[in-house]
Structure 1
Amino acid sequence: MFTATIHFEQHRECILRRLTADADDPVPIEIEEVRDGSVTFVLRAGAETDANAFQRELEAADHVEHVDRLDETNLLVTKPSCGAYSAIYRNHGTLRRSNTIKGTHREYNVLLFRREDLKAIIEDLSSFGTVTLGKLEEFGTGREPSMTDRQRTVLAEALDRGYYEWPRDIKSAELAEALDISRATLQEHLRKAERTLLSTALDRDRGVRGRRATPKRRR
């Protein structure tokens, strides 16, 4: 199993390309779900004024399916994929939650099982953009991760119910309802648990090697 950082220059038009073109720093996007050609993600605007502007433009776009304001700076968005997310999942990759976008540039952190899958992802992405491979590291089995009991419970439930299958056997809203928590709380638990797992594995690898919700308003 490997983790790969993929830098991608998007050649296709995309509303996020326009929204983030003038951002001072890359805007974090945390992928929640890719399903039937649509992607659901948390857009971390970083400031309330930016979130307000992003929300207005997203709600005004006919192709955006859903916009939900999670808090002052974060939006939950569902829209058709511009192609990159589908290319990654179609070739057996899994997007980690920490990804960024700024104008045409995207940085994707991908978990995959085989180098052949990475090659297929790059070939697919190259058909509508420019791809540069950043880090490629083995995903090692590290020490026991330090997660809270609640994070471990939520992560185990997500795994057992097929949340990490492709396509997913259960949607995030259904999983949150089964756990009797909000979708935002579910995302936070999963995000922290995944970050712990990744950090633990990558830190151990370095040591071994001695290197380094308001629905969208229809108008």
Structure 2
Amino acid sequence: MFIATVHFTQHRECILRRLTADVDTPIPIEIEEIQNGFVTFVLHAGPHADSFQAELEATDHVKHVNRLDEENLLVTKPSCGAYSAIYQNHGTLRRSNTVSGRQREYNILVFRREDLKNILDDLAGFGTVTLGKLEEFRATTESSLTERQREVVTEALERGYYDWPRELTNETLADELGISRATLHEHLRKAERTLLSSALAESHRQTGRGQFERIDIEQE
């Protein structure tokens, strides 16, 4: 399993490119869901939240904009291609990704180098892509899920949240659990990391591997 940092220059027109073109610092984005060509994400707009919200709401192809708090927006819009390229090649966006005009930085989790190469090839079809770094994820210890994390991830698994295509939305799951979407995703992210760490620890126990190993490679 690998965690890759990918730098991407978007050649296609995109509302996020227009929003962030004149912003001094990159804007963090956390992906929540990709479904039927649409991507839902939290845009950490900070002091730009008011202007970003107004412009997003005035854009026809933006499906949904919700103000989460003073600094954060929940947005649903058609994917400009990058997210689809990542997910169709079995990648998963991890941690916070950023956007700054044409520039994107994605942190991608993949199981195979071949999947990462396919992601890079697809991204190169509509932009300029550079692999920043590649780390192999190797867990050292097992950790237990909290009772609430186990409850949330079990419900998500049994209800088809992890099926493809997904059988219920994150909004429906959050409502049924009586929590906010932000809380749902916090529980799921922590549970997923714990479970992945435990699985990898079991797999690598006999080799005595550490938590992360930096890998230097040249992009073809």
Same-fold status (TM-score > 0.5):
yes
The Cα of 1:169 is off from its aligned counterpart by 2.9
Deviates more, 1:131-140 or 1:69-78: 131-140
Of all paired residues, the percent bearing the same amino acid is: 69
Map 1:10-159 → 2, pairs under 5 A: 10-47=10-47, 50-145=48-143, 148-159=146-157
Q: What is the distance in 2 between the residues matched to 1:39 and 1:172?
A: 12
The Cα of 1:142 is off from its aligned counterpart by 3.3
2:206 match? none
Secondary structure of the corresponding residue to residue 52 of structure 1:
helix
Map 1:160-179 → 2, pairs under 5 A: 160-179=158-177
Q: What is the distance in 1 between the residues matched to 2:173 and 2:33?
A: 12
Deviates more, 1:4-13 or 1:168-177: 168-177
Q: TM-score, normalised by structure 2?
A: 0.83
Give unmatched runs, 5+ long, in structure 1.
212-219
The Cα of 1:143 is off from its aligned counterpart by 1.6
The Cα of 1:121 is off from its aligned counterpart by 0.6
- In the alignment, residue 118 of structure 1 is paired with which amino acid? L
**Matching of residue 205 in structure 1 with residue 211 in structure 2:** yes
2:204 match? none
The Cα of 1:68 is off from its aligned counterpart by 0.6
Q: TM-score, normalised by structure 1?
A: 0.83
Q: What is the distance in 1 between the residues matched to 2:214 and 2:127?
A: 35
8 Å contact from structure 2 (residues 29, 43) kept in 1: yes
Secondary structure of the corresponding residue to residue 110 of structure 1:
strand
Q: What is the distance in 1 between the residues matched to 2:33 and 2:190?
A: 17
Change (3 A) 1:87 1:169: same
The Cα of 1:170 is off from its aligned counterpart by 2.3
Q: What is the distance in 2 between the residues matched to 1:205 and 1:187?
A: 24
Q: What is the distance in 1 between the residues matched to 2:193 and 2:140?
A: 13
Question: Which structure is larger by alpha-carbon Rg, 1 or 2?
Answer: 2
The Cα of 1:87 is off from its aligned counterpart by 0.6
Q: What is the distance in 2 between the residues matched to 1:151 and 1:79?
A: 29
Change (3 A) 1:103 1:199: farther
Give unmatched runs, 5+ long, in structure 2.
201-208, 216-220
8 Å contact from structure 1 (residues 143, 204) kept in 2: no
The Cα of 1:23 is off from its aligned counterpart by 1.7
Q: CA RMSD in A?
A: 2.6
1:190 match? 188
